[in-house]
């Protein structure tokens, strides 16, 4: 049902922007870092629109049988420029969706690797996109802001002085992409996502609690949260995030006043999320033991201003907190039934 609605919405947008061209001549899309939280769902979404064979999922991880059955999958290391060139040429790639990254909490644990994957990887991607005239999508994040930025609300253009290597690498990606756009005409597109919530395992970010809480509450009735109960952060269900990405990729260039836009659906605290879950689940117990991620969260936006995206390309979120809770409870319960309580 969820997927049906998702596809219905995306086709509405598809017709709106680009009826015949993209239908007759679908783009060939490569997704890097595709076996993370966003990539697999993104491939499903875009394959439904543009055809299975037109969307290549890639990563450096060995895929499951299911991934291989679902459509084209390739080994692609973002640090290997020649390898990237070969894939783009051999598969006649038109659009690149660059997901490979080390996220905020993981990046702090291994700064040199984060510099390589997030910054050197971006250098490869941007040169590749310039060389082969690709449309390139790079996600940024609320983590691209820092303690000097206004936090409630955080506008599209403001001070960006992040204090994590993840945030620094994303500001670098935003600026490099904009520069290549103005200097070389590169079709660079970037959305700053809030915490993205889905039933798939998250990649080690600061907003991961909003996923883990569903798994732990449904399995054990108890969740120990690493953020304080009043920590407010912007969030979005993966369905809204992928629709935003897909709509944004289809917008004609002349409607874009910027190459980088904030998008969001809602903002809430762990306590508010627990209250929203308690409407549907009995006997919820949440305890709080803040760790190093609290400091990161305290420097990030609380409420994200996405009015420019709404104005320029009609961005509209569809999933509010109550809908998000109902979707997540359903999806996580299905996963528990399929995989057993311990997984």
Ligand X SMILES: NC(=O)c1ccc[n+]([C@@H]2O[C@H](COP(=O)([O-])OP(=O)(O)OC[C@H]3O[C@@H](n4cnc5c(N)ncnc54)[C@H](O)[C@@H]3O)[C@@H](O)[C@H]2O)c1
**Which residues of this chain interact with ligand X, rule CB under 6 A?**
32-33, 35-39, 59-61, 76-79, 99-101, 103, 117, 139, 141, 193, 195-196, 203, 205, 207
Other beta carbons within 10 angstroms of residue 282's beta carbon come to 6
Contacts of 164 (CB under 8 A, 6+ apart): 104, 107, 108, 143, 296
Strand 285-288, strand 55-59: pairing: unpaired
Minimum distance from CB of 283 to ligand X (Å)?
A: 29
Nearer to ligand X, 37 or 262 (CB): 37
- Smallest gap from Cβ 285 to ligand X, in A, equals 25
Cα gap 2→53, rounded to integer Å: 23
Which residue among 45, 50, 166, 209 is the active-site one?
Answer: 166
Q: How far is the CB of 207 from ligand X (least distance, A)?
A: 6
Task: Return d(Cα 315, Cα 30) in angstroms, integer.
Answer: 24
Query: Cβ(236)–Cβ(266) under 8 Å?
Result: yes
CB of 40 to ligand X, least distance (A): 8
CB–CB of 270/229 below 8 Å? yes
The nearer residue to ligand X, 11 or 75, going by C-beta atoms, is: 75
- For ligand X, the closer CB: 57 or 277: 57
- Concerning whether 166 is annotated as a catalytic residue, the answer is yes
Instruction: For the chain, state the CA radius of gyration.
Output: 19
- Strands 260-262 and 187-193 turn out to be parallel
- Give 284 or 335: the residue with its C-beta nearer to ligand X: 335
Residue nearest to ligand X according to CB distances in the complex? 36
Residues known to be catalytic: 166
């Amino acid at each position: 049902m969820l997927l049906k609605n998702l596809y219905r919405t995306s086709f509405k947008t598809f017709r709106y922007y680009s009826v015949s061209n993209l239908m007759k001549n679908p783009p060939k899309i490569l997704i890097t870092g595709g076996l993370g939280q966003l990539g697999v769902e993104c491939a499903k979404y875009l394959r439904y629109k543009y055809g299975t064979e037109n969307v290549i999922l890639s990563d450096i991880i060995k895929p499951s049988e299911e991934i291989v059955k679902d459509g084209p999958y390739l080994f692609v290391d973002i640090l290997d420029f020649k390898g990237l060139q070969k894939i783009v040429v051999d598969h006649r790639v038109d659009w690149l969706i660059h997901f490979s990254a080390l996220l905020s909490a993981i990046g702090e644990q291994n700064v040199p690797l984060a510099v390589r994957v997030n910054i050197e990887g971006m250098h490869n991607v941007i040169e590749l996109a310039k060389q082969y005239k690709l449309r390139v999508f790079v996600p940024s994040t609320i983590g691209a802001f820092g303690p000097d930025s206004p936090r409630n609300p955080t506008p599209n253009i403001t001070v960006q002085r992040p204090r994590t290597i993840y945030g620094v690498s994303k500001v670098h990606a935003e600026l490099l992409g904009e520069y290549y756009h103005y200097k070389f005409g590169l079709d660079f597109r970037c959305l700053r996502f809030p915490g993205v919530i889905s039933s798939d395992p998250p990649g080690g970010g600061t907003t991961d609690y909003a996923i883990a809480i569903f798994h732990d509450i449904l399995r054990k009735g108890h969740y120990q949260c690493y953020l304080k109960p009043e920590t407010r952060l912007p969030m979005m269900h993966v369905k809204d995030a992928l629709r935003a990405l897909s709509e944004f990729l289809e917008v004609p260039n002349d409607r874009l006043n910027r190459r980088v836009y904030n998008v969001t659906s809602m903002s809430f605290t762990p306590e508010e999320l627990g209250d929203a879950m308690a409407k549907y689940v009995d006997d919820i117990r949440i305890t709080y033991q803040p760790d190093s991620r609290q400091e990161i969260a305290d420097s990030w936006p609380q409420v994200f201003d996405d009015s420019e995206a709404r104005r320029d390309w009609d961005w509209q979120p569809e999933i509010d907190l109550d809908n998000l809770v109902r979707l997540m409870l359903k999806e996580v319960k299905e996963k528990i039934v399929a995989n057993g309580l311990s997984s």
